Amino acid sequence: AQSVAQPEDQVNVAEGNPLTVKCTYSVSGNPYLFWYVQYPNRGLQFLLKYITGDNLVKGSYGFEAEFNKSQTSFHLKKPSAIVSDSALYFCAVRDKRGATNKLIFGTGTLLAVQP
Amino acid sequence: DSGVTQTPKHLITATGQRVTLRCSPRSGDLSVYWYQQSLDQGLQFLIQYYNGEERAKGNILERFSAQQFPDLHSELNLSSLELGDSALYFCASSVAGGNNEQFFGPGTRLTVL
C-alpha cells in the first residue's frame, strides 16, 4: 500500500533556528511527493513537490525539501524559522494506481515557532 | 487565494438531513477532488472528477455522492447525515493529468447536531 508517515505530531523551534519537519514514504516505483501547509481555518496551500530530478526542491516562503531515496524520506526544511511559519504541515504522495491523481496525506505535523 | 471557491463556508444541520456543498475550480482546471478532514480520520480522499466524469473513488460513503457539471463546478451531496459526518470538506482542482499540484479551496465546515 502506498502511504506517507509523519512521525512527529508537533515540532517546536525557536525563531531564527533551522527547522525540519519529517516525512517518510512507502510507494512502489518512483514517488511523487508534495508538501502542503494549513493555517488555522484555512485550506491547504501548496509548498513544493518532487517529481524527478534534483533531490533538493525549493518551494514557497523559503521552504525546501530533500528527497532521499535510500532512506525513503522527504523532509521539509527551512534555514531560519519565523513565527508566521507556525501552522500544520502535511506531506502527501500521489497515488499512482489507476488513472487518478489523488493524494494520500500524512497525519500532519504541527509546527510551533516560539519568538 | 488559490482560485478555488467553496460554498457555504459553514453549515450546521441536524442528523438525518441532506446538504449540498459546492465547489468552483480554478479557471482551466478540469480535475476536481473532494477530501474530508476530521480529527479521527485526518485528510481522506473522497472522490475525483475529470471533465464531468468520475475518475476515482476513495473512502466515500454510499450516503455521499458527487457530480461535476458542464461548467466544471462540482457538488458534493451528503444525505442521511450522522454526527460522525461533522468535518471539514475540501475541494481541490488541478490541470489535466500528470503530476500537477492540487489547489485547495477554503473548505466547508459541516456540523451535524
pLDDT tens, residue by residue, A69-101: 999 999 999 999 999 999 999 999 988 776 677
Residue A11 neighbours by CB distance under 10 Å: 18
CA distance B91 to B103: 8
pLDDT number for residue B98: 62
B34 to chain A, any CB pair closer than 8 A? The answer is: no
Closest to B18 in 3D by CA, of B64, B83, B69, B75: B64
pLDDT number for residue A102: 85
Residue A110 neighbours by CB distance under 10 Å: 15
pLDDT number for residue A76: 98
Angle CA B5–A47–A79, to nearest 5: 145
Asked if the Cβ–Cβ distance from A101 to B102 is below 8 Å, we say yes
Residues of A in contact with B33 (CB under 8 A): 101-103
Residues of B in contact with A42 (CB under 8 A): 106-107
How many angstroms separate the Cα of A28 from the Cα of each of A18, A40, B62? 32, 34, 30
Mark the ranges of chain A whose per-residue pLDDT is less than 50.
none
Dump pLDDT digits (tens) for B8-60.
999 999 999 999 999 999 999 999 999 999 988 899 999 999 999 999 999 89
pLDDT number for residue A99: 66
Dump pLDDT digits (tens) for B1-16.
889 999 999 999 999 9
Residues of B in contact with A53 (CB under 8 A): none
Q: Pick from A43, A102, A104: which is nearest to B90 by CB? A: A43
Averaged pLDDT score across all residues of chain B: 94
